[in-house]
Amino acid sequence: MRIKSFVASTVQEALSNIKEEMGESSIILETRNISDDDIKSESGQNLVEIVAAEIFAEKEVGNGEERKEEGCFCEEKHSLEGDPDGHLGQEITSLEVEWPESCKEWFSLLCKQQVESVDAKILVSEMLSELDKENIESIDEQREKIKEIITRKIKIYPLETFQEETNKTKVFIGASGIGKTTTLSKLARKTRLYSGNEIVLISIENDSVEKMNSVATEIGAVVAVVTTPQELKTVQDEFRRSTHMFIEMPGIGGNDNKKLLALREYINAIPNSEIHLVLNATTRLKDISTLVFDQEFVPIHGLLFTKTDEADTFGTLLTVIMRSEIPVSYIANGNTHSGDIKPATANMIAEMILN
């Protein structure tokens, strides 16, 4: 399935471009007014954006007309939402897929799970386009297919197993209170079960040092406190050979450029580290967005989700994963350092969403 955004001066113009480029077999995923003052048409008019998906390439289904006769497509009046200026306050005619009722239920289940509606539409549309005709109404086949599609969308960070884990420096970044110290402690404890090598927990500027000391005493680890990037580099060089190193970076917000710059200095001092962005599974998309999508200060190797035990729904995870395309590293639950942490699998995340 191909997804593309079309920007034009009017809805009609955007739709006509969509039809011309994608043909009849397209669905509208999202429409919005572009209210940004910097982005206007040549005549100074506001622009509109329509995101469309081409779901049945002719070669996949043979003949688009054939599907239409079978009732898969219909001409539908499609009213536009999210139109604060009334600019889009008109009904448009678009070629939409009329989903079978059972597919609409998948859409609403995904939305209830807090998958963003645009992403839920993509998943259901792909499910429909990939199901064999004879299985299109089978709930079991639909579930299997949608799980397969969700699984396909999730990239997994290639972690070593706890048994193999060899002297990696793992760095945890993210907002304050998100669970960085707890997660670092859980991983350090698990590592101790499988490795006799030295374990070092590193606090920046004494942040969370008491909690680190407590877990270090329990598992026989060392705690080091550093206050500059240079000190961090020195400590890493000193311990590197025989050590598992876990570093907690000070809490950051996506909009705080000063803190992000300071974070980058620390990260640059320890190249070849594994950087995990810690995210709370109960956080809403808008609160996660800036850190995941809009910052270019630090590379992120893996998304690590905490507090899955407190989350009722897991769709936000999927939306973040689909949109960021950053691999997932770990899934954690439990509010103490003896809680659980597992290397993530795509199957595990798909089941969390579908169950």
Ligand X SMILES: Nc1nc2c(ncn2[C@@H]2O[C@H](COP(=O)(O)OP(=O)(O)O)[C@@H](O)[C@H]2O)c(=O)[nH]1
SS3 308: coil
**329 interacts with ligand X by CB under 6 A:** no
Smallest distance, ligand X to C-beta of residue 309, A: 5
Interacting positions 241-280 with ligand X (CB under 6 A): 251
**189 interacts with ligand X by CB under 6 A:** no
Q: Are 50 and 19 in contact (CB under 8 A)?
A: no
**129 interacts with Mg ion by CB under 5 A:** no
Q: Which is nearer to ligand X, 68 or 259 (CB)?
A: 259
Binding partner selected for residue 283 from Mg ion, ligand X, none, CB under the kind-specific 5 to 8 Å limit: none
Q: Are 54 and 25 in contact (CB under 8 A)?
A: yes
Helices (H), 161-282: 180-194, 209-219, 229-239, 257-269
Kindly write out the interface string for residues 155-184 of this chain, putting x where it contacts Mg ion by CB under 5 A and - elsewhere.
-------------------------xx---
Q: Which is nearer to ligand X, 302 or 339 (CB)?
A: 339
Helix (H) or strand (E) holding 125: helix 117-130
Cα–Cα dist 212/90, whole Å? 59
Residue in 5, 12, 35, 176 binding ligand X, rule: CB under 6 A = 176
**306 interacts with ligand X by CB under 6 A:** yes
- Going 7 to 10 to 14 to 20, the CA torsion angle's sign is negative
Residue in 304, 332, 344, 349 binding ligand X, rule: CB under 6 A = 332
Q: Which is nearer to Mg ion, 208 or 319 (CB)?
A: 208
Interacting positions 197-216 with ligand X (CB under 6 A): 208
Distance of CA 333 to the CA centre of its chain: 18
Q: Which is nearer to Mg ion, 67 or 337 (CB)?
A: 337
Give the Å distances, CA to CA, from 45 to 16, 107, 148, 188: 18, 35, 43, 57
Give the Å distances, CA to CA, from 219 to 118, 209, 338: 46, 15, 11
Cα–Cα dist 305/189, whole Å? 18
Pairing of strands 73-79, 243-248: unpaired
320 Cβ neighbours under 8 A, 6+ residues apart: 279, 285, 288, 292, 303
Smallest distance, ligand X to C-beta of residue 328, A: 15
Residue in 31, 114, 125, 208 binding Mg ion, rule: CB under 5 A = 208
**283 interacts with ligand X by CB under 6 A:** no
Residue in 23, 100, 253, 334 binding ligand X, rule: CB under 6 A = 334
Q: Which is nearer to Mg ion, 183 or 308 (CB)?
A: 183
Find the part of the chain contacting ligand X (CB under 6 A) among 41-49, 152-160, 267-275, 332-340.
332-340
Q: Which is nearer to Mg ion, 88 or 212 (CB)?
A: 212
Cα–Cα dist 315/143, whole Å? 16
**333 interacts with ligand X by CB under 6 A:** yes
Q: Which is nearer to ligand X, 145 or 180 (CB)?
A: 180
Angle between helix 101-112 and helix 117-130 axes, rounded to 10 deg: 140
Residues that bind ligand X (CB under 6 A): 176-182, 208, 251, 306-307, 309-310, 332-335, 339
